[in-house]
């Protein structure tokens, strides 16, 4: 009988594709718990480059990246933008269905 591959190995293989990685991050960002996005971003980093390689490329401290991408992480915009740029992923903004602001009369 053929041995099954682990979920982690299969996920990392899929996340090597930039389109799949971008979609994975988009879905994770839509989760109400924003920690899900940081964990998804960590998955993409590990699949595409690895923490040490991305730390060298972005000139960010490796330990800082581990903390930033943890469940308790709170990344600064500067660090997040450098990381996403190194991964070749762009942020896109779009309006929500309902505006939280009322129009001024």
What sign does the CA torsion over 17, 37, 88, 55 have?
Answer: negative
Instruction: Tell me the pLDDT of the chain averaged across its residues.
Output: 88
Per residue in 10-62, pLDDT tens?
A: 999 999 999 999 999 999 999 999 899 999 999 999 999 899 999 999 999 99
Whole-number pLDDT of residue 35? 92
Whole-number pLDDT of residue 99? 61
Other residues' Cβ atoms within 10 Å of the Cβ of residue 25:
20
Other residues' Cβ atoms within 10 Å of the Cβ of residue 69:
22
Domain residues of the chain, as ranges? 10-87
Whole-number pLDDT of residue 23? 94
**pLDDT band (50, 70, 90) for residue 103:** low
The number of C-alpha atoms within 13 Å of 85 and in the hemisphere containing its C-beta is: 11
Q: How far apart are the first and last CA of the chain?
A: 71
CA angle, residues 26, 20, 66, in degrees to nearest 5: 65
Residue 73 is classified by DSSP as -
Average pLDDT over residues 77-90: 93
* Six token digits for residue 47: 């699949």
**pLDDT band (50, 70, 90) for residue 100:** low
């Amino acid at each position: 009988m053929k041995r099954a591959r682990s979920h982690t190995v299969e996920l990392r293989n899929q996340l090597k594709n930039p389109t799949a990685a971008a979609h994975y991050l988009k879905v994770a960002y839509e989760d109400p718990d924003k920690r899900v996005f940081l964990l998804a971003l960590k998955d993409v980093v590990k699949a595409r480059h690895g923490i040490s390689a991305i730390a060298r490329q972005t000139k960010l401290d490796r330990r800082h990246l581990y903390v930033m991408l943890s469940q308790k992480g709170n990344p600064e915009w500067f660090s997040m933008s450098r990381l996403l740029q190194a991964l070749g992923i762009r942020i896109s903004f779009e309006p929500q269905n309902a505006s939280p602001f009322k129009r001024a009369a």
